[in-house]
Amino acid sequence: MNKQDAIDITERIAQISRYIRFVGLIDGHGKLIAYKRRLGLKALLNSKNTLNQFSHIATKTGMEAKFDRQLGHVNFVWEEREKAQTISFGVDKSRVWISIDKKVVRSEVLRIVDNCLPIVRHYS
């Protein structure tokens, strides 16, 4: 995936909902290729923990791929945490990672997922 595609993905997804805090495209080595953060927000993770999170995402993505043949490809992963909700999608060998405001109702998160799926499929 080229840099422009990565930028396009993050920008298109960031426009889906005003509740999206952050969209990042992380490669298979945990490197942040492109991102978009909602203006005026303070990051929930410091820079060291952000790098660790991205590395964790890359490792987890690689591990999940080992089961694709038997279980099928992972369409998305949704986590509800105390301070934010996260969704991630596989795009080729990379991962789109999205954080969303915690107080968003589940139907809005599902709307975000439904609008992200065609975007990530287009670039996969």
List pLDDT tens digits, range 54-76.
777 877 877 777 788 888 888 89
For domain 3-123, give the CATH number. Answer: 3.30.450.30
Contact between 94 and 1 under an 8 Å Cβ cutoff? The reply is yes
Averaged in consecutive runs of 10 residues, what is the pLDDT profile of the chain (124 residues)?
Answer: 93 97 91 91 77 79 80 88 90 91 93 96 91
Instruction: Supply the pLDDT for residue 60.
Output: 80
* CA–CA separation, 34 and 81 (whole Å): 24
* CA–CA separation, 65 and 68 (whole Å): 5
Instruction: Provide the residue ranges of all domains of the chain, joining segments of one domain with +.
Output: 3-123
